[in-house]
Amino acid sequence: MNVRALLLAIMAATALPAVATDRIPIADEGATSARWVPVAGTMATPVYPEGHAQDQQQVCLTVGYLLNADGHTSDFALLKSWNSKGNLRPDNPLWAAFAGSAARALAQWQFVPKPEITSPAPVYTAATFVFGSGDAAATRAHCMIPDLAARLVELRRDARASRMMAGGIFSRLDISRDLQLKYEIAEQQALARDSQRQETLARQDQLDEMLRQQMAQRTQQGSSGNK
């Protein structure tokens, strides 16, 4: 099973479902502090998964989540990950273990709106977690997402993640059409460049074959003349 899909399944029993139908704004990690304050005692820290305790490698991952209007969190999804041993394949069971630990911690997080916020609204954001005893800042840097909306668009266009991104909370996020168009154009340009490279290689192969045939003919003619 895809790790991201597995993470969603893990949290189905504990996450509070989002019920709003309006477009949901996106806030980069840390930006929610302008409107929300964490509830003391709820900001749990994920633990190093027991099944991987002997490895003690450096791991980081960024989990996207919905901060609901009532201050609870839900709709967790693994958005980016890294580990020091290079086990980066998305189907590696390591990711399910660490993502599950992060999601269980996130499910305990609670927030209250600042006093001046009289009509709190849900917002989609992310949190980055670091596992291991090494340089936390260096490890965290591998997973930080400076532009969350851009990362979500990237995942939508990724063949492995597009299925998850096609529905649910992701279909309700307020991602600007201009940003999506930017990535569509970049993708089309990349395809055009790839097509041009393929055509160039094909032409080169044709030229090489023509030269090979000409050399073969000259060799054959030379052999006939010597007779």
- 135 with 148, same domain: the answer is yes
pLDDT, residue 226, reads 59
Domain count, the chain: 2
Residue 9's domain spans which residues? 3-175
Segment (H or E) for 80: strand 73-83
- 105 with 135, same domain: the answer is yes
- 199 with 220, same domain: the answer is yes
- 194 with 163, same domain: the answer is no
Q: Are 26 and 175 in contact (CB under 8 A)?
A: yes
Spell out the per-residue pLDDT of the chain, length 227, in tens. Answer: 344 444 444 444 334 444 445 889 999 999 999 999 999 999 999 999 988 877 778 999 999 999 999 999 999 999 999 998 886 676 678 888 999 999 999 999 999 999 999 999 999 999 999 998 889 999 999 999 999 998 988 887 776 665 666 567 888 888 777 655 655 665 666 566 677 777 787 788 887 888 888 887 877 776 666 55
Question: How big is the chain, counted in residues?
Answer: 227
The model carries a pTM of 0.71
Segment (H or E) for 3: helix 3-11
Query: DSSP string spanning 126-170?
Result: EEEEEESSS-HHHHHHTT--S-HHHHHHHHHTSTTTHHHHTSGGG
